[in-house]
Amino acid sequence: MVQEREIMFKDSGYANFLIHDIILPCLVYIMGIIFLIVVSILKLSPWNVIEIFNNGKYDLSVLESKFPNTFVIVCEVLLVMLICYLIVRRINKNNEFHRNGTGYLKWPFWVLTLVGKLLGYNSINTVNIPIWLQFKIYKSSWWHTRSLDQINIETVEDRVTIEFKNAKNSSDVVNVILVDTYPILGKIPETILTRYDTLIVKRELTSPGNRTFNKYFVDKSIAEINKLYKCSYESMNIFLSTNPFHTKRIVKGAFRMNGRERHMGVSVFQSIGEKHIYCEPHRIIK
């Protein structure tokens, strides 16, 4: 974990993301804190400062005599922070979080959302974000993906195959493998493949690695996954190599509403290591 963080901070793309998307907007909050410190040293209050800038037109300091001192201080701090938030939100209104897609962004979803919202972002670029985190972003109502919606992507109609393999022993878990931009069947541990029933939706790409849009692949993936909700399975393991355009539509079509016929747990497996083995599960729906 320590080594992973060291690599992350040495990455110039990640450093660029921190500077432009986080540190620069945070300067507004820092200025607000400095303002509070200065007025405290000068034994003024934000009410006095507002009164000075309005040439005494509004005598707001009278509020201090009507409320306890602690309450007034809390209100002053909240007022300044609210003003800072509104300024930051106005600045980032048309910007995307992780706008350049530089640096591999692997944060817990709640941290990503908290930081993004405090800095006034409503949209996020999902390039260089792990697939399990993309799932949570597309599934959430907190985030838009403006850049993904605006990109024109080539549409193709290559062949799609569907296969279902039954495990030797029955289980309440089912594997779902969506093969899109590159083959992944050889990268999933055999113990997982043989232990559970497995649904495979495979796109027969003539040029692996190319990111193109195939509506039939998306529609069949959604339809086959939704069929599983009618079965007796309690949990679903997801393995996929889908491009962001397909991932977003599949999530919205099959996972945005928690449960169709009934509730089912969902885990998305992330590929890790130099060989990109799918052995790191992340619980998306509990």
**Calpha distance 221→279 (Å, rounded):** 22
**Calpha distance 15→11 (Å, rounded):** 6
| Per-residue pLDDT at 175 exceeds 60 | yes
pLDDT at 3: 46
If one compares 17 and 211, the residue with the highest pLDDT of the two is 17
| Per-residue pLDDT at 171 exceeds 60 | yes
pLDDT at 53: 55
Structure pTM? 0.80
**DSSP structure string for 120-175:** T--EE--TTS-HHHHHHHHH-SS-B-HHHHH----B----EEEEEE--SS--SEEE
pLDDT band at 1 (very low <50, low <70, confident <90, very high): very low
HSE of 8, CA atoms in CB hemisphere, 13 A = 13
pLDDT band at 205 (very low <50, low <70, confident <90, very high): confident
Q: For residue range 23-69, list pLDDT tens digits in order.
A: 988 999 998 888 878 777 766 666 566 555 555 554 555 555 555 56
Average pLDDT, the chain: 83
**Calpha distance 33→83 (Å, rounded):** 12
pLDDT at 238: 97
